[in-house]
Amino acid sequence: MSKNNNKSTILFFGAIIGFILGILFAPQKGEETRKEAKEKFDQIKEDPQGTIKDVARNLQEKVSSAIQSVEDSNIEIMEEDIVISQSFSEEK
């Protein structure tokens, strides 16, 4: 099996799992959720490769956005804010 095929398979199953988790945690009525799920599964059946590309593109945009927001946040860590902890256990 080629590396591209493996990546596509992983992305496909990742998209399915993400979609299912989204449905489970969505603040919608059950009827609306079932309708949305049916539409999404129909879309996946019609164009699985396009759906995978859309999911990958959306994921890439969200990761880029998250990285950008961290870079823009101007978080400063001072040396006195760093706490290093280590615990020791007594062995006999």
- Predicted local confidence at residue 34, as pLDDT: 81
Amino acid at 18: G
56, 11 contact by CB (below 8 A) = yes
- Calpha distance 12→41 (Å, rounded): 12
DSSP H stretches of helix in 1-92: 3-25, 30-46, 48-72
Domain boundaries, the chain: 3-70
SS3 83: coil
Global pTM?
0.43
Which of the two residues, 67 and 92, has the higher pLDDT score?
67
- Predicted local confidence at residue 59, as pLDDT: 83
